[in-house]
Structure 1
Amino acid sequence: MIVILGIVAGALWGVRSAKQKNGDRKDIAQYGGVGAIIGGLVGLFVTIGLEKLL
């Protein structure tokens, strides 16, 4: 669940960042994709960390 939230949050962050920089559709898609990957990885590490603690 945390990974999915990370993916969604990362994608939204990437899209917002590209729109602020006046990017076209391709830029928005690329930033959204990269943000989703980064958010998913962060969510994965958080999930692993929580599993190790509990």
Structure 2
Amino acid sequence: MKTFLLKNDKNRIYFRNYERISAEEELKKLQNILKEKILLSEESTKHH
């Protein structure tokens, strides 16, 4: 029983960490997309 609870705890912690990491990855992706869009809009305004 103890080992089962320990396993569950480890999984829960791992899952929490995994969730946090994936959320950070999503943020990074969004920030990169925004940066690219800003760069593209700056490029197009330079040409006009």
For the aligned pair, the TM-score class normalised by the smaller chain equals 0.5 to 0.7
Normalised TM-score (structure 2)? 0.63
RMSD: 1.2
Give the drift of 1:30.
Answer: 0.1
Runs of 4 or more, structure 1, over 2 Å off, are: none
Q: Which runs of 5+ in 1 are unaligned?
A: 1-22
Higher-Rg structure is: 2
Normalised TM-score (structure 1)? 0.56
Q: Residue 32 of structure 2 corresponds to which residue in structure 1?
A: 53
Q: Give the 3-state SS of the residue equivalent to 1:24 in structure 2.
A: helix
